[in-house]
Structure 1
Amino acid sequence: MAVEAVLERLRPDTLLVSLMHVNNETGVIQPVADLARELQSTPTYLHVDAAQGYSKVPADLTAPIDMISISGHKIGAPKGVGALVVRRRESMDDERPPLEPIMFGGGQERGLRPGTLPVPLIMGLAEAAKIFEREHARWQAAALELRAKLLEGLTSERFHLNGDQDHVVPHILNISFEDVDSEAFLVTLKELVAVATGSACTSASYTPSHVLTAMDLPDAVARNGLRFSWYPEQAQTLDVTELANGVGKLRPRA
Structure 2
Amino acid sequence: MKPMLASDTFAGRVALVTGGGSGIGYEIAKTLGLLGAKVVIGSRRQEVIDQAATELRALGAEAIGLRVDVRDPEQVEAFVDGAEAEYGRIDMLVNSAAGNFRVKAEEMSVNAWRAVVSIVLDGTWYCSQIAGRKMIAAGGGSILNIGTVGGFHGGPLAVHSASAKAGVLAMTRTLAVEWGQHNIRVNLVTPGSTADTGAVAQLFPTEADRERILRGVPRGRLAERIEIANAVAYLLSDYADFITGENLVIDGGRWLGKGHLENR
TM-score under structure 2 length normalisation: 0.31
Question: Which structure has greater helix proportion?
Answer: 2
Asked which structure has the greater CA Rg, the reply is: 1
